[in-house]
């Protein structure tokens, strides 16, 4: 059995926050943000918009794109670092909202690599016969864990959700997920982390605020090295050279990293899907959002080979090679 990526969908909140708006609350400027990150704007969840509500909206679009219904789903995996509750998981909240009556679901916490991790797990379960239809979702509300006095982090992130529907198919060809590759290096956890969690308090017994902290220079350095290794690993595993890749759909963290990976693969700029300018870094949601956009507008076509890669706090990173 192969896990065929049958459809993708994305959802973005209604509120657009420009760089100029960010400059009104923190010491920065539109030029500073654009030059260093490529980000022009980001979306922010407000009011009743939650990780779950965005995940549900993206999942519905993915099912529609795949010509599938909730009855076809027996597995839901959500990659998120910003769940609405400690439990129940976002996945089972999505299950309830979509009226799915069977199967099982759970969340995966792997920061910005959460979607790649979730995709890998779903693929293994389909290959093992544990599921025949899987929703794999990345959904985040990072705007609610940002320190708005830290210009080095608060300008980088946005909110949103993306989803794909995987269908189990007996395939003698190459369509579907060819391979996934996951890695972690916990010794580097302190270069990108959130300083709070459920049940964690400071020395006075007060709950920690749970704000994101990042050593940007170190994260950038490791991202370039680890993502490069992960790309080479995926190609070598499938006995493919770089010229075989039709599209790179990377995690949308920084335009310099994205363009560097495109050059490494020898891909023309128009073969690299870029949304960081409009979406900013939506963590686990960034790859499925970019994929949904490029499949929806017809850039990515059936039969083409797509390489996805991401790195996030942990450090965790990984790649996936998919024949659409």
Q: What share of the chain is helix, strand, coil (3-state, %, to 5)?
A: 40, 25, 35
Q: Which of 293, 246, 309, 304 is nearest to 272 (CA)?
A: 246
Which SS3 state, helix, strand or coil, does residue 126 take?
helix
Host H or E run for residue 8 = strand 2-11
The answer to whether 112 is a known catalytic residue is yes
CATH superfamily of the domain spanning 2-169: Thiolase/Chalcone synthase (3.40.47.10)
For residue range 196-240, what is the model confidence (pLDDT) as tens digits? Answer: 877 666 778 777 779 999 999 999 999 989 999 999 999 999 999
Q: Are 43 and 13 in contact (CB under 8 A)?
A: yes
Catalytic hit among 181, 222, 251, 279 = 251
Sheet containing strand 305-312, edge to edge, reads 176-184, 316-323, 305-312, 247-250
Q: Are 87 and 117 in contact (CB under 8 A)?
A: no
The answer to whether 239 is a known catalytic residue is no
| C-alpha distances out from residue 285 to 3, 47, 59, 216, 282, Å | 20, 20, 12, 20, 5
Q: Where are the domains of the chain?
A: 2-169, 176-323
**Model-level pTM?**
0.96
CA distance 148 to 101: 41
CA distance 100 to 96: 6
CATH superfamily of the domain spanning 176-323: Thiolase/Chalcone synthase (3.40.47.10)
DSSP for 201-261, please give it. B-TTSPBP---EEE-HHHHHHHHHHHHHHHHHHHHHHTT--GGG--EEEE--S-HHHHHHH
Q: Are 159 and 187 in contact (CB under 8 A)?
A: no
Tens of pLDDT along the chain (324 residues)?
899 999 999 999 999 999 999 999 999 999 999 999 999 999 999 989 999 999 999 999 999 999 999 999 999 999 999 999 999 999 999 999 999 999 999 999 999 999 999 999 999 999 999 999 999 999 999 999 999 999 999 999 999 999 999 999 987 668 999 999 999 999 999 999 999 877 666 778 777 779 999 999 999 999 989 999 999 999 999 999 999 999 999 999 999 999 999 998 999 999 999 999 999 999 999 999 999 999 999 999 999 999 999 999 999 999 999 999
Q: Are 123 and 4 in contact (CB under 8 A)?
A: no
State the Rg of the chain over Cα: 19
Catalytic hit among 112, 222, 254, 279 = 112
The answer to whether 251 is a known catalytic residue is yes
Catalytic hit among 19, 154, 279, 281 = 281
Query: Residue 173's pLDDT is what?
Result: 67
Looking only at the bridges linking them, the beta strands covering 192-194 and 212-214 are antiparallel
């Amino acid at each position: 059995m192969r896990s065929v990526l049958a459809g993708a969908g994305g959802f973005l909140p209604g509120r657009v926050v420009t760089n100029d708006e960010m400059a009104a609350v923190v010491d920065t400027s539109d030029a500073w943000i654009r030059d260093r990150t490529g980000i022009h704007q980001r979306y922010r969840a407000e009011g009743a918009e939650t990780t779950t509500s965005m995940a549900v909206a993206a999942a519905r679009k993915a099912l529609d794109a795949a010509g599938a219904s909730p009855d076809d789903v027996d597995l839901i995996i959500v990659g998120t670092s910003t769940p609405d509750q400690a439990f129940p998981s976002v996945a089972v909240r999505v299950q309830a909202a979509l009226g799915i009556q069977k199967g099982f679901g759970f969340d995966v916490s792997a920061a910005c690599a959460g979607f790649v991790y979730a995709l890998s797990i779903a693929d293994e379960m389909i290959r093992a016969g544990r599921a025949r239809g899987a929703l794999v979702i990345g959904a985040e509300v990072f705007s609610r864990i940002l320190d708005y006095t830290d210009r080095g982090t608060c300008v980088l992130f946005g909110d949103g959700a993306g989803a794909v529907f995987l269908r189990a198919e007996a395939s003698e060809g190459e369509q579907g997920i060819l391979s996934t590759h996951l890695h972690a290096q916990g010794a580097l956890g302190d270069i990108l982390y959130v300083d709070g969690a459920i049940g964690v308090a400071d020395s006075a017994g007060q709950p920690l605020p749970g704000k994101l902290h990042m050593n940007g220079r170190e994260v950038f350095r490791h991202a370039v090295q680890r993502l490069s290794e992960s790309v080479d690993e995926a190609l070598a595993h499938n006995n493919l050279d770089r010229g075989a890749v039709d599209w790179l759909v990377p995690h949308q963290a920084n335009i310099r990293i994205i363009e560097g990976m495109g050059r490494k693969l020898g891909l023309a700029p128009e073969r690299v899907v870029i949304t960081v300018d409009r979406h900013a870094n939506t963590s686990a949601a960034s790859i499925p959002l970019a994929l949904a956009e490029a499949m929806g507008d017809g850039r990515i076509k059936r039969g083409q080979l797509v390489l996805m890669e991401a790195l996030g706090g942990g450090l965790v990173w990984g790649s996936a090679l998919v024949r659409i």
